[in-house]
Structure 1
Amino acid sequence: MGSISYGAGASVIHIEDRALAHLKIVIATKLRRNESFTLSWRHPAGEAVGRSTIWLHPSIPLRFTFDEPEPPALNARWIEDLMHSANSTGGISLVDEMVDGGDG
């Protein structure tokens, strides 16, 4: 389970490594463009039931920490889905990965 450390108080948000790798691409792209946006997610198992939203801004300290030493293979469709979400008025919603079924 990876994490995002966010803000001067270093609030820690736990997110599964694979999802975090995909989020990192989208978040870094948005922040590189100097764009602010929200990120929303459902709390993982073991935490209080509910969901949270944070405001991401280029001036707020942000750190991604991964448990796995090697990055996973990335799913371009998932990144695209997250980017579409990021560009909406509601901001990024951490959606589940969609895997295309192949015909062989």
Structure 2
Amino acid sequence: MGTLRYAGESYELEDRALFHLQIAISTKLRRRENFFLSWMGPRDMGSGRHTIWVDNGIPLHICFTGSRQPHLNRVWMEQLLDSAADGAGMILGEEPDSLPERAVASGVVTSQPGAPGAGH
């Protein structure tokens, strides 16, 4: 569990989610696009939803507990960036499979390097 520190508050989130948020937030802020960011709180703390306004003028600090950088899930990144364009803002949900269902269903899946059956 890492920590997102924003506007004097601290929020615990999984390192993998924080990694994807770091990229999505930096993409939006480089474009000078402010937005809401929302996620569900942990069940042991009563669940509930957190929402913050993300703005270039507010310091942001992400602290990861792990030392390894996770692999990027492009499908999740697209979902985060697409949701940020909506009036409700960027919604951090569960991580989807890295391959869109339509590609798997249509059989248009290419071998991943190192996967069984992948060419060397």
Is TM more than 0.5 here? yes
Partner of 1:66: 64
Q: CA deviation at 1:59?
A: 0.2
| CA–CA separation in structure 2 for the residues paired with 1:45 and 1:22 | 22
- Structure with greater helix percent: 2
Partner of 2:87: 89
| CA–CA separation in structure 2 for the residues paired with 1:45 and 1:3 | 17
Aligned residues: 102
- Structure number with the bigger relative contact order (C-alpha 8 A, sep ≥ 6) is 1
Give the SS at the match of 1:29: helix
Identity, % of aligned positions: 42
User: 1:15–1:44: 8 Å Cα contact kept in structure 2?
Assistant: no
Aligned counterpart for 1:46 among listed residues 44, 60, 66: 44
Aligned counterpart for 1:32 among listed residues 22, 30, 33: 30
> Where do 4+ consecutive residues of structure 1 move more than 4 Å?
101-104
Question: Superposition RMSD on alpha carbons, in Å?
Answer: 1.5
Instruction: Output the TM-score relative to the length of structure 1.
Output: 0.90
